[in-house]
Amino acid sequence: MFTLLKKELNSFLSSLIGYMAIIVFLVFNGLFLWIIEGEFNVFSYGLAGIDGLFLLAPWIFLFLIPAITMKMFAEEKKNGTIELLLTKPLSDISIIISKFFAGLILVVVSILPTLVYVIAVYQLGLPKGNLDLGGIMGSYLGLLFLGAIFVAIGIFCSSITENQIIAFILSVVMCGFMYIGFEFLSQIPLISNIDLLIKSLGINHHYSSISRGVIDTRDVIYYLSAIGFFILLTKLSLESRNWKK
């Protein structure tokens, strides 16, 4: 399993995809947080904080993570190496988990450099250090969980097609729906009596909750359940090859 994880990481780092994903994430966040004036800009916000990062990052991840995961199984299918991979002494779930953690590691590597923003705002605050570190750490945890769900969705979408472009589009649509789709559904008048339940099915509801710095077990359970659900769907997708024989 570790060997496959290492192989996946090497495949990312031996091509431009992994590096480009990290660079694009950091460049876009840097521009909007420090240079481009607007609601995300640190200096325009008026308070010591990097809330703009946690508002902007999910939208960047919405496109970058599908770009990372689109090739994970789709390329294997297209090149005909999927059968060779699946005949190795590894269970389907071990293969999926290896690819999942490879994608998640890239997400973590993308996020880590933004800690420099925290240090910068900490130094710029009046008085120095006037920063809600609890809320920021909660936001980072929420962003990490959000990235993990996007990776799980991306891997599932890659497992159901051999076309990387289709996998990318499906992943963007599904990640977008999971992030804010339920927010829109909850506003439909016909289901107003269960609007809170519908809203709680979406990522944004829990992301906003954990970003306040309060680690609620309900939010953690939601994240872990969503990740497990899409990993299970990926396993079923891989097992379907046997049903077609």
Please give the pLDDT value at position 227. 97
pLDDT of amino acid 226:
96
Q: Is residue 111 part of a domain?
A: yes
Domain assignment present for residue 20? The answer is yes
H helices present in the chain, as ranges: 2-13, 16-30, 42-45, 51-69, 74-79, 82-86, 92-111, 115-124, 133-159, 164-176, 182-185, 195-199, 203-210, 217-243
Instruction: Please give the residue range of the domain that contains residue 92.
Output: 2-240
Which DSSP letter does residue 89 get? S
Q: Is residue 131 part of a domain?
A: yes
In total, how many domains does the chain have? 1
Instruction: Give me the tens of pLDDT residue by residue for the chain, a chain 245 residues long.
Output: 677 788 778 877 777 777 888 888 999 988 888 888 777 777 776 666 788 888 899 999 999 999 989 988 888 888 777 767 766 677 888 889 999 999 999 999 999 999 998 888 888 767 776 777 888 888 899 999 999 999 999 999 999 998 999 999 999 999 999 999 998 888 888 777 888 889 899 999 999 888 777 788 999 999 999 999 999 999 999 887 654 44
Q: What is the pLDDT of residue 104?
A: 94
Q: What pLDDT, on a 0 to 100 scale, did the predictor assign at position 1?
A: 67
Task: Give every CB contact of residue 118 below 8 A, 6+ residues apart in sequence.
Answer: 50, 131, 133, 136
Asked if residue 122 belongs to a domain, the reply is yes
pLDDT at residue 243, as a whole number: 46
Give the model's pLDDT for residue 242: 53
Number of Cβ within 10 Å of residue 112's Cβ equals 11
CA distance 111 to 150: 14
Within-domain flag for 101: yes
Tell whether 82 is covered by a domain.
yes
Q: Is residue 245 part of a domain?
A: no
